[in-house]
Amino acid sequence: MPAAPNLARITATYLQATRSTDSPRKWLLRLLVDSVNSVHGGEFVRPGDEVDAFIFDPVEEPTAGASLRADAEYVGGARGGALQLHHVEQVEQ
């Protein structure tokens, strides 16, 4: 199944968040996925998965342990990839 185009609305918890050494605008994330609602395309993550993700210019600095809601696009191929997050909102637990 081709990855692009795809989009899902997810809720997740930040497990790890570090600023990328490649770009000061980019954050590298490790997430624990809580829920997934596919908008279009394939579903590349499931609740309970720990996944790699990234975001550019977050409104709020990502903090380990915080919960979030976001649009997530799987970027990659059959051998691996990551979720690019868009429209990220930190949510109360």
| pLDDT tens string 36-54 | 999 998 888 999 999 999 9
Boundaries of domain holding 52: 7-91
CA–CA separation, 47 and 81 (whole Å): 17
Note the pLDDT of residue 80.
Answer: 85
Q: How many C-beta neighbours within 10 Å does residue 71 have?
A: 15
Structure tokens at 50: 């720990």
Q: How many C-beta neighbours within 10 Å does residue 67 have?
A: 15
- Look up the pTM and report it: 0.90
Which has more pLDDT, 2 or 55? Answer: 55
CATH classification of the domain holding 45? 2.40.50.140
Note the pLDDT of residue 5.
Answer: 87
Number of domains in the chain: 1
| pLDDT tens string 5-35 | 899 999 999 999 999 999 999 999 999 999 9
Note the pLDDT of residue 93.
Answer: 65
> Is 54 a domain residue?
yes
